[in-house]
Amino acid sequence: MTWLIGVVCGFAAMGAGALVVIEGGLFNATASTPHIAAVGLAAHTAFIRSVEVRAKGVEAPTRFAPADVTAGFRDYDRSCVACHGAPGVSNASWAHAMTPPPPYLEDAARRWRPRELYWIVGQGVKMTAMPAWAEVRSDAQVWDLVAFLEALPYLTVADYARMRAEAGSATVATPGPGASPTAPPPFAPE
Amino acid sequence: MTSDQAWLRFSWRLGTLIALAAVCAAPLGACVRRPAEPTWAKFGGDPSQGAILVGRFGCGACHQIAGVQGADGKVGPPLSTFADRTMIAGVLPNTPENLVRWLRHPQAVVPGNAMPDVGLTDAQARDIAAYLYRGP
């Protein structure tokens, strides 16, 4: 019986502790400070596991057509590159001010299965500013983005610049902010 | 003189000899090994600020960097023990000034390589270089 009292008291203490952290404003919610290492690790691991578990039921296409990659590129270059960059292309300066900072996706296809990329792109990621693109894109469009991410590890800086030129994006390998003041932003308004 | 005293004297002399040898050998060791003064201390970067910037600018998406959370990328080379490296990007001798130049303008140093110019200021590049040289 005493062990039960111990467990109950333990949980009560944890609850009280959590209340103090939350109500006392002890959690630093600013984006100007990085996560405490343990918090960052816990959140990131929870995100990875969440995606792995929830994407299990998704049926991914066995292969993507070059046209899918091109369509995905157009959307990526318009909607994603500001936060995630591209080969030889920096993300926007304000993306460096985000916590967690949005990652470059050069090797995303080596870290995730296609179905998991589909899940992340389509469903977004809480508390990271990653939108759920399935809310504003068709299912096929989300898969096009996955097709592009699958192709990304094979693209050179020159390839990306050429795709931009062919798509009429007018920009050729946008250097970092400040380096080329005349270059248009790497994304066009919708 | 008892054998105890002889033993004590012998020990004392041996100890002195070893200590003297160590003192004499220390400068010799310093010649062979890396200089005691860290490289980054000479050109003014703040390594702890650099660690934060490495996280902010997403360096870890492409590079493995000891002491930076989530810096496990395998797109570019690992950057742990960078001080032991001979060349930067295969083209620049590994000096602090060259590292700052590379960090700020990778596309100017090696056009068409995958590393973007992320718009680092000189001070930011120095902080990051200081961290890469010092390590965690």
- Tell me, what's the pLDDT at B12? 82
Lowest-confidence range among A124-138, A167-181, B60-74? A167-181
* Secondary element (H or E) of residue B133: helix B122-134
Question: Which of B69, B115, B117 has the CB atom closest to A40's CB atom?
Answer: B69
ipTM: 0.76
* Sequence-ordered alpha helix ranges (H) in chain B: 3-32, 47-56, 96-104, 106-109, 122-134
Average pLDDT, chain B: 86
- The SS3 call for residue A3 is helix
Single-letter amino acid code for the residue at B93 = P
What chain A residue is nearest to B117 in terms of C-alpha separation?
A: A176
pLDDT interval class at B94 (50, 70, 90): very high
Residue A177 has a pLDDT of: 44
The CATH superfamily of B39-134 is: Cupredoxins -  blue copper proteins (2.60.40.420)
Q: Is the pLDDT of residue A182 over 80?
A: no
Selected for mutation to probe chain B from A45, A83, A84, A90 (highest B CB count within 10 Å) is A90
The CATH architecture to which A45-167 belongs is Orthogonal Bundle (1.10)
Please check the confidence at residue A37 and state whether its pLDDT lies above 80.
Answer: yes
Confidence check: pLDDT of A190 > 50: no
Across A132-136, B27-31, B95-99, B106-110, least confident range: B27-31
Q: What is the mean pLDDT of residues B74-101?
A: 94
Residue whose C-alpha is closest to residue B118's, from A51, A175, A38, A119:
A175
Say what the pLDDT of residue A173 is: 46
Record the pTM: 0.78
Tell whether the model's pLDDT for residue A137 goes beyond 60.
Answer: yes
Residues in chain B with CB shorter than 8 Å from the CB of A93 are 119
Domain residue limits, chain B: 1-33, 39-134
Instruction: Say whether pLDDT at A60 is over 70.
Output: yes
Q: Report the DSSP beta bridge partners of residue B93.
A: B87
Q: Write down the domain spans for chain A.
A: 45-167
Stretch B86-110: mean pLDDT, rounded? 95
**Alpha carbon of B58: minimum distance to chain A alpha carbons (Å):** 6
